[in-house]
Amino acid sequence: MVRVGIVGATGYAGAELVRILSGHPDVELTVLTSRQYAGEKFDKIYPSMAGIVDLSCEKLSIDSFCERTDVVFIALPHKVAMQLVPEFIKRDKKIIDLSADFRFKDVSLYESFYQEHTAADLLEKAVYGLCEIYFEKIKSATLIGNPGCYPTSVILPLVPLIKSNFLDVDSIIADSKSGVSGAGRSLSLTTHFCEVNESFKAYKVAVHRHNPEMEEVLSIEAGRPVNITFVP
């Protein structure tokens, strides 16, 4: 059994990860951390997990966390994981980061859409976590940067077409839709039910931070620059 701990287990991404891993036959969930819900039973926060996950959330103590885990999932906001990953690397843990902090090879791309990267020396070590394309690299990786939601939906269908020279890579339009859960669990007027029910709208057109992620991965696969007009 692989012992797995999740840092940030009570956000939407972290909670879904708990649900998936709790049913995996080769995984033992050993640690769930949450700053907001430390000390509370996970199934009290998410009653649907009653009788399935019998763990309490706790504050993150890296040494204690590492003593009980083989693999670390980090389900925290962008810009936070880069502070933690070097500590887990020092302790020889395998890390899967759900944020954008380790998705890019070109640090300048990351910094132009997020902030200064404080662990840029680890970007070359990280493997982009799209298993349908990078399966072999992922198997031996120590650090995996999981792809964003929009990039997953765009990259997967385009890579085989690009490799078969079926597309003009100078002009690709990605017209994408997502639900509001992708914005996270924190309260926001723009994601309230009454604001979004039975409607949708474009946002961050031409400046969305998933745009450079798509272009970098597709450019690597194509062997030349790929340009995407992305409308989320």
Active site residues: 149
DSSP 192: S
Say whether 132 sits in a helix, a strand or coil.
helix
Instruction: Return d(Cα 139, Cα 65) in angstroms, integer.
Output: 23
Which parts of the chain are beta strand (E)? 2-7, 27-33, 57-58, 71-74, 94-97, 127-128, 143-145, 172-175, 228-231
Residues 146/71, Cβ–Cβ less than 8 Å:
no
For the packed helices 210-222 and 149-163, what is the interaxial angle rounded to 10 degrees? 20
Residues 119/98, Cβ–Cβ less than 8 Å:
no
Instruction: Return d(Cα 221, Cα 158) in angstroms, integer.
Output: 10
Closest by Cα among 130, 76, 104 to 209: 104
- Please count the other Cβ atoms lying within 10 Å of the Cβ belonging to residue 65: 23
